[in-house]
Amino acid sequence: MNALSFKNVGKIYRRSHLGKTTETVGLADLTLDVPRGEVFGLLGLNGSGKTTAIKLLMGLHLPTTGDVSVLDRTVPDIEALAKIGYAPEAAYLNKSLTGRETLRLFAALSRIPASEREARVKSILEKVGLSHALDKRLSEYSKGMLQRASLAQALIHDPELVIMDEPVTGLDPLAIKEMRALILWLKAKGKTVLFSSHDISEVERVCDRIGILNGGRLARVMTQDEWRGKTDALENAFAESVRRTDGVGPIKLD
C-alpha cells in the first residue's frame, strides 16, 4: 500500500496584473509512489517544486492536472488529511502561548480525548527535547526550539504520515543529529516520513529513497543501494540532474 501518490500531476500558477496573465510551472507531469513505512526525501534547488508537492499533499493547493492521493484517498479528503502530521519550514505558532498550551490546543483540535491530552502533551514534548520548556512562552524559544515545537504539534495526534519541510534548516550540529534520530524513530514505529531538504548529507543518512526535482519535474529517483558506501554518489547524481533557474552561473575555478 502507498502512503502517498502523485499521478501525472501538474500545477500551474496563474497571476494577472494590469490585464496581463503570466503562468509559472510549479510541477509538471509528476508521477511518484511512496509506500507506507518508507522515509523518502525530496531534493531540489529553490523553485524546483518541493514545497508545491507538499502543499498539494496537504490539500493547501489543488493540482491543475492529475491526481494526488494520501493513504489511498484522493486529496482533499478530511479523513486522510487527519492522519498527516505537517511540520512547515517556518513555525507558524502563537508565540504568546507556552509549549504546554500550544500542544494542548493542537491536541484539542485533533480531537484527542481530554483525559489523554496531558499525558500526550508531556510525552511528545519530552520526545522532541522540550520537557524543560513546557511552561515557557514560545516568544522565549530559540529558532531551534520553535522547530522542535512545530514538530511536536505535527506528532501530537500520532499521524500515519509525517511531512517535514526543510526540517534541519538553521539547526546546530547536535540538533541535526537529534532530528535524524527522531526520523529513524518514526520509521521504526512504522510511520511514513516525507521531507524536503537542501542537505544532501542528511538525506543520504536517513532516507530509503530520494527524488530529485528540477524545474517542477522529477529528474531522478534513487535507492540507498545507489549511494550507500559510494563516495559522493548522491551529490554527483544531484549535480547531474539539476540546473540553476535563478540566473546564477557556476563558480569559475580557472
Q: In this structure, is residue 250 part of a structural domain?
A: no
User: Which residue(s) pair with 214 in the sheet?
Assistant: 217
Pick out the chain residues at pLDDT < 70: 243-254
Quick one: which of 198, 148, 159 has its CA closest to 58? 159
For residue 216, CA distances in Å to 39, 53, 129 come to: 21, 9, 36
Range of the domain at 35: 2-83+159-241
- Max Cα-Cα span within the chain: 67
100/242 Cα distance (integer angstroms): 43
Cell numbers of 21, please?
Answer: 496573465
End-to-end CA distance of the chain: 51
Complete DSSP assignment for 154-185: HHTT--SEEEEESTTTT--HHHHHHHHHHHHH
pLDDT of residue 248: 59
Say if residue 232 is in the same domain as residue 201: yes
Counting the structural domains of the chain, the total is: 2
Q: How far apart are CA 239 and CA 166, in angstroms?
A: 19
Residue 126 sits in the same domain as residue 152: yes
Confidence (pLDDT) at 203? 87
Q: Is residue 89 part of a domain?
A: no
* 90 C-beta neighbours (distance < 10 Å), count: 12
The answer as to whether 253 is a domain residue is no
Indicate whether 168 and 218 sit together in one domain.
yes
Global pTM value: 0.90
Q: Where are the alpha helices (DSSP H) in 43-142?
A: 50-57, 78-81, 99-109, 114-127
Boundary (domain end) residue, out of 157, 179, 199: 157
The tens digit of pLDDT for each residue in 59-114 reads 999 999 999 999 999 998 999 999 999 998 877 899 999 999 999 999 999 999 99
The answer on 103 and 142 residing in a single domain is yes
36 and 60 housed in the same domain: yes
Q: Is residue 251 included in any domain, yes or no?
A: no
